[in-house]
Chains A and B, each alone.
Chain A
């Protein structure tokens, strides 16, 4: 059963990017959108996005880099491992779980750092990437959305958002283990 799921996923996965690459322009064409011009217009933003995230990446990467170089990261991983292994969570993904609700660009930096550290194919990188893709930056969303309408008392927004993030964190770990483990 599990083998069947895994092999289906690995076959289907060849179609993901190609269908995105063709699907969007085809759909646009059907809807009468000037696809080439719109694409170029959208692609221009690539540069802006890349430049905008630089300060966030610097801030997170240098702090994580120092933390790793001091040996504190290994210490933390070793200390947390016995506890976390009870629930099947590798300690290496904990920094991602903590940073993800706080900063989007910063957690992208953590994924990049983990690729350097553990290799692109490793399970922990897949888990971290799944976490990155599966939750939004909760505190940023709260600040933007409630700020726009001047809400001061956010009531249960933070606990509800963090609960969803936590479930997303655990789900990422287990789903990756199930599909690729």
Chain B
């Protein structure tokens, strides 16, 4: 199941990315081959020899909307820099500028660690006289294509790195929690409470005879879950399963009691949160323990009702290993069987 969901996520990401990229190319959403008309103002007058000089960039609102075919509007003016090299003139928007779409996307697509600013080549203007205060021209941004394809590759690398550093960052709190919980385990916290809880559980496991060790192990297993003692819970649960298997007339088919134990295990009430969650959430766990305890109360009730109701369904009833014993009314079973003919 997980195999399908996992590969589904990856394959669907690729398909979705390709679909978005193709649509953007077909629409030519970023006007890859055309230049956006702008007016460039030189507050200090144009300096022909300066490598960089401050400028103010003005984009006409209606021209912009028409050019990109969008509803977003640019601000009345942006501060920027004009770079002059032998290759030509490059216009750079201030990295702090709040740009309209799709300029934001173009900016983030070409942003690098050294240069986050949106930049484009100024269309060749024959020659500008020194001291000119304003020119009207057009700016050609670098083309944007296969944006999403690039993004998913980048995300995969970033997240793989995050995963490892995240896990290593959890070592400290995990150690703290596992140390505490180990003390509870050694001190016999689970055994101390077992006496009180066992009678409550007994009606849920009708096929376990009174005094049989199975119920003791079931109780210990579930209590270990309640106190977040995951390491202790699994061996106890397997022990309880082995006891139930001894009582099970059919070696390969799960008995109702076994399913009940599983349902209680997957939904058990939690009083101590899982160590991994404490490590991830930090102090937030203080509040979350209340919602967790409440939610587990509901899911435990659902688990009990679900396991019980489903075991009464004709479909599952016929395969029940204990069905022959249950049909004997003199057995005095707590739950009268339903007859399926």
- Contact residues of A with B, CB < 8 Å? 9-10, 12-14, 16-17, 20-21, 24-25, 27-28, 30-31, 33, 35, 38-47, 49-51, 53-54, 57-72, 75, 98-99, 101-106, 108-109, 111-113, 115-116, 120-121, 126, 129-139, 141-142, 144-146, 148-157, 159-161, 163-168, 171-172, 175-176, 179-180
B81 within 8 A of A: no
A95 CB to closest chain B CB (Å) equals 9
CA separation between A156 and B254, bound complex, in Å?
9
Give the contacting residue for B302; candidates A51, A71, A168; CB below 8 A: A168
Question: How far, in angstroms, from A63 to B156 measured CA to CA in the complex?
Answer: 7
Q: Determine how close the nearest CB of chain A comes to the CB of B181; give it in whole angstroms.
A: 6
The winner among A17, A99, A126, A157 for most chain B CB atoms within 10 A is: A157
Contact B13 A104 (CB under 8 A): no
Assess the A163–B302 pair: CB atoms within 8 A: yes
3 closest A-B pairs by beta carbon, nearest first, are A42-B182, A46-B175, A168-B299
Partner of B267, one of A9, A69, A109, A136: A136
Contact in complex: A149, B242 (CB < 8 Å): yes
Q: List 25 A-B contacts (CB under 8 A).
A: A13-B287, A17-B285, A21-B180, A28-B184, A39-B180, A45-B178, A46-B174, A49-B275, A51-B167, A54-B164, A61-B159, A62-B159, A65-B162, A112-B162, A112-B166, A133-B277, A133-B296, A134-B267, A141-B265, A160-B262, A160-B303, A161-B266, A168-B298, A171-B294, A171-B298
Is the Cβ of A45 less than 8 Å from the Cβ of B274? no
Which residues from A are CB-within-8-Å of B13?
63, 66-67, 69-70, 72
Residues of A contacting B285 in the complex (Cβ-Cβ under 8 angstroms): 16-17
Whole-angstrom distance between the Cβ of B230 and the nearest chain A Cβ: 9
| A-chain residues with CB within 8 Å of residue B313 when the two chains form the complex | 156
Q: Smallest CB–CB gap between A145 and chain B, Å?
A: 5
Stretch of B1-9, B66-74, B137-145, B203-211 with 4 or more beta carbons under 8 angstroms from chain A:
B1-9
Instruction: Decide if B258 touches A65 in the complex (CB within 8 Å).
Output: no
Interface SS of chain A: helix
Check: B87 CB closer than 8 A to any chain A CB.
no
Within the complex, which residue of A69, A136, A159, A175 is in contact with B155, where a contact is CB–CB below 8 Å? A69
Q: Interface range on chain B: under 10, 10 to 19, 20 to 34, or 35 or more?
A: 35 or more
Contact among B171, B263, B289 for A157, CB-based, below 8 A = B263
- Interface mask (B280-310 → A, CB under 8 Å = 1, otherwise 0): 1111111111111011111111110011001
B329 proximal to A (CB < 8 A): no
B299 neighbours in A (Cβ, 8 Å)? 134-135, 164-165, 167-168, 171
* Shortest Cβ distance from residue B233 to the other chain A in the assembled complex, whole angstroms: 9
A51–B170 Cα distance when bound, in Å, is 10
Contact A144 B175 (CB under 8 A): no
Q: How far does the Cβ of A17 sit from chain B's closest Cβ, in whole Å?
A: 6
B176 contacts chain A at the CB level, 8 A cutoff: yes
State the CA gap A164–B296 with chains docked (Å): 9
How far, in whole Å, are A103 and B188 apart by their CA atoms in the complex? 29
Point out the residues of chain A lying under 8 angstroms from B296, CB to CB: 133-135, 168
Measured CA separation A168–B303 after assembly (Å)? 9
How far, in angstroms, from A72 to B152 measured CA to CA in the complex? 11
B127 within 8 A of A: no
Q: A27-B187, A159-B306 are in contact. Are A50 and B174 (CB under 8 A)?
A: yes
